[in-house]
Structure 1
Amino acid sequence: MGNGQAPGRSEQEDTLDAGWEKHRPAVFGVAYRLLGSVADAEDVTQDVWLRAAKADLRGIGNLRAWLVTVAARRAYDILKSARVRRETYVGPWLPEPLLTGPDASEPVLVDESVSTAMLLIMEELTPPERVAFVLHDVFGIEFGRIAEALGVSVPGARQLASRARRRVAKAKESMPRASKAERARVLETFRAAYEAGDLEGLVKLLHPDAVYVTDGGGKALAARKLIHGGERIAEVLVRVGRQRGADRVDLVEAGGELALVFRQEGGVYSVDTLQITDGLITAYRRVVNPEKLSRI
């Protein structure tokens, strides 16, 4: 074995093993950004592995780009059918929470594109726009590969990404990001007020025009319509807190930013992400769908 290849192993196996662990986070990352589902992203990652194991990788110059593009193409097919499923989803839909801190179960390239707010913005894009935007603007994939994945021309792929970029930028104008320090301060203050059942304290933290969104998916008790107004939201939070209680409320990193995890009897019953502007909570998003919490 003068070439240093392990006995019984092919060059194909060595090539795949060498690159897979390095690029697996990107494969998972592109699928999660496109689908907003950890379960679906894990399925896509497994599909990409199986396809890579069968493909001839010796002629592939950029393995990362090839793997990410294959993942995006598979996620694109799921994304088109997912939009149909969302039409029959019970109540509001929110992305499945993804832990991104040091204890995260899935490594992922973390930036604002995995935040709940950004994933919801990208939900407003068409599937081709979303694929073009994520592949080019987040992962730096060339338009030739994007065009091939979407079955469009290179100018068409450029146009899709450009259109998506403009729509995302416009949506972000009304959604300024709070600094990490500001988020930590607001969430710590919120946690203390929530645990104390301090209605007045919660009202002070909520913007008068704040919105409250809960995703139960028909599998857990949750409001099926949006709740508007800081005072009303505070009342709901206090009432839910009294009814359900929480053994522990933890600050964690989810989707690249601080979030709240409510634990009860050793399990997680909600993951809450907050949109904060000028020190006030403008959107409170709570996932209680047990299918979306099983991996937390």
Structure 2
Amino acid sequence: MDDERAPREAGQGDRLGAEWETHRPAVFGVAYRLLGSVADAEDVAQDVWLRAAGSDLREVDDLRAWLVTVAARRSYDILKSARVRREAYVGPWLPEPLLTGPDASEPVLVDESVSAAMLLVMEELTPPERVAFVLHDVFELDFGRIAEVLDVSVPAARQLASRARRRVAKAKQSAPRAPKAERERVLATFRAAYQSGDLAGLVRLLDPDAVYVTDGGGKVSAARKLIHGGERIAEVMVRVGRQWQVDRIDLLEVGGELSLVCYRHGRIYSVDTVQITDGRITAYRRVINPDKLSHL
């Protein structure tokens, strides 16, 4: 029996080995969009690889769709249990930063759905809505596969995706994405003001109704409540900058958008993503939880 099985396994391994690197960004990408965690997405990708290596893929016509479906099913299981863990999380929760662009070590399909702002919008969806939206609107899987992942009927899967799409569209309309050139200009000016401790300069770049969110996860000192108001945020940032003595600030692409990466003693101290509207920062999100930065 071993001799009869060997040719099938060899052929299967050849196909998977040849196509895995092509499809891995999609496998990792669907898991990251569903979970908001680089570490969890990497674990899912490894699980999918092991599942695929032990499966007979000769009858699989669309390997990408098969792999993405397996990744989504595993992520859905994790996502349902993650809701319980989030309730015990210390302070505000933000998605784990994912470097994209030329600085990325992890290849991933990049679009608006990997941005911190969009991941936070999707965090407000129910797990089934999030899965239906990501699989259909981002990865273009048919509703038959989505229904299998969610264990619902095809009409129910359609309804879940439609409901999620309306909520995402409403959020995008209320906080439209700033043009790339405007983002570059605002962040470059903000970085210069922050590095020099220019309080007035920071206030000019922050919307009067801006909100500041810090994710320390209880691992480091961080504000456990949102800070509101441009002047108040600027004061906090200048004080923190002096206290922690940031070495330098790089402008790097995170989640498909230019962001601020701050260093202390040669190591990453924070990854800061922002929402910009009409030339001013309306939301400033800072991840300083070391567990969320270790992969960087």
Same fold (TM over 0.5): yes
Whole-Å separation in 2 of the counterparts to 1:8 and 1:29 = 30
Task: Give the letter for the 1:117 counterpart.
Answer: A
Task: Give the letter for the 1:229 counterpart.
Answer: G
Task: Give the letter for the 1:150 counterpart.
Answer: L
State percent identity of aligned pairs.
80
3-state DSSP of counterpart to 2:102:
coil
2:61 corresponds to 1:56 = no
Task: Give the letter for the 1:130 counterpart.
Answer: R
Whole-Å separation in 1 of the counterparts to 2:169 and 2:49 = 34
**Cα distance, 1:103 vs. partner?**
2.0
Q: Equivalences for 1:1-296 in 2 at 5 Å? A: 10-296=10-296
**Cα distance, 1:246 vs. partner?**
1.0
Q: Deviations over 1:187-239 (max 9, x none)?
A: 00000000110000000000000000000000011000000000000000000
**Cα distance, 1:8 vs. partner?**
11
Task: Give the letter for the 2:73 counterpart.
Answer: R
Whole-Å separation in 2 of the counterparts to 1:145 and 1:53 = 21
Task: Give the letter for the 1:188 counterpart.
Answer: A
**Cα distance, 1:39 vs. partner?**
0.2
Q: Which residue in the other structure is 1:4 paired with? A: none
Whole-Å separation in 2 of the counterparts to 1:107 and 1:221 = 32
2:103–2:253 contact (8 Å) kept in structure 1: no
**Cα distance, 1:171 vs. partner?**
1.1
**Cα distance, 1:101 vs. partner?**
1.5
Work out the number of aligned pairs and report it: 290
Whole-Å separation in 1 of the counterparts to 2:74 and 2:133 = 16
Task: Give the letter for the 2:11 counterpart.
Answer: E
3-state DSSP of counterpart to 1:125:
coil
3-state DSSP of counterpart to 1:261:
strand
TM-score normalised by structure 2 residue count: 0.97
Whole-Å separation in 2 of the counterparts to 1:8 and 1:168 = 45
Whole-Å separation in 1 of the counterparts to 2:278 and 2:226 = 22
Whole-Å separation in 2 of the counterparts to 1:106 and 1:279 = 31
TM-score normalised by structure 1 residue count: 0.97
3-state DSSP of counterpart to 2:291:
helix
Whole-Å separation in 2 of the counterparts to 1:206 and 1:8 = 61
**Cα distance, 1:163 vs. partner?**
0.5
**Cα distance, 1:15 vs. partner?**
1.1
3-state DSSP of counterpart to 1:258:
strand
3-state DSSP of counterpart to 2:103:
coil
2:205–2:281 contact (8 Å) kept in structure 1: yes
3-state DSSP of counterpart to 2:178:
coil
3-state DSSP of counterpart to 1:286:
strand
Whole-Å separation in 1 of the counterparts to 2:189 and 2:171 = 28
2:69–2:145 contact (8 Å) kept in structure 1: yes
Whole-Å separation in 2 of the counterparts to 1:164 and 1:56 = 34
Structure 2 unaligned runs (5+)? Answer: 1-6
3-state DSSP of counterpart to 1:89:
coil
Task: Give the letter for the 2:76 counterpart.
Answer: Y
Whole-Å separation in 1 of the counterparts to 2:16 and 2:279 = 48
2:207–2:280 contact (8 Å) kept in structure 1: yes
3-state DSSP of counterpart to 1:96:
coil
**Cα distance, 1:9 vs. partner?**
7.1
Task: Give the letter for the 1:124 counterpart.
Answer: E
After the TM superposition, which parts of structure 1 deviate over 3 Å for at least 4 consecutive aligned residues?
none
**Cα distance, 1:266 vs. partner?**
1.4
